[in-house]
Amino acid sequence: RSARYLRDLSNDFLFMRQVEDQGLQLPQEICRLEELFAEMVILFAESAQARGISFSGNWPQAEALCLAHAPALRVVLSSLLDNAIKYSDPDTVVTLNLRESDGAVHIEIDDQGRGIADEEMERIFDRFFRGEVTADKVPGSGLGLYMARVLVEAMGGSIQARRGKGGGTCMEIQLLAPVGDRP
């Protein structure tokens, strides 16, 4: 499973570069979020468990749908969950929430880490940006959140960061909810 994940991640990174370079809008399809959330929790269970981190959340078990490009959404959620685990304090909880309002689906990933300094909040989606507090302590390239922003925007959505409920960081993705027979 890990080898397949790394292969897919490499392919997705190349895909993201193509989206970025050509300014593509990604084709939309109806995605079942409960299946995608379950897949992500299984994928990151081992790394979370190694740090004593558990997952909790509030998401419907049936018919939680959004319009997205499934492979791109997997890359985005993988990047956000990986960060949430890396930057959370040991023995804490990463919360995944899902809600719908005004024709949009809001996906929230909330960690209980140190959080992001207010002066860095606007820059975290910049290519190669690493926060000053964690740059030397946590390995990374500074590309994960940049890739997430590029892909979410190519799906017609938005992404933002804010102070989380537990003092860490909450990442929120907003995507369109399907309406009627719209693909």
**What's residue 140's pLDDT?**
61
Question: What are the tokens at 105?
Answer: 């689906």
Q: Does the reported pTM lie above 0.95? A: no
CA angle 147, 149, 150 (to 5 degrees): 65
Higher pLDDT, 27 or 55: 55
Distances (CA, A) of 26 to 37, 66, 153, 162: 21, 14, 9, 26
Per-residue model confidence as pLDDT tens digits over 11-23: 767 777 777 777 7
Give the C-alpha separation, 27 to 183, whole Å: 9
The DSSP annotation for 95-152 comes to EEEEEEETTEEEEEEE--BS---GGGTTTTTSTT---TTTTTTS---S-HHHHHHHHH
Residue 1 in 3-state DSSP? Answer: coil
Q: How far is CA 72 from the centre of its chain?
A: 10
Distances (CA, A) of 71 to 9, 76, 95, 148: 10, 9, 22, 12
Confidence grade of residue 25 (pLDDT, cut at 50, 70, 90): confident
Per-residue model confidence as pLDDT tens digits over 88-129: 999 999 999 998 888 899 999 999 988 888 888 888 888 777
State the number of CA atoms in the 13 A half-sphere of 24 facing the CB.
Answer: 14
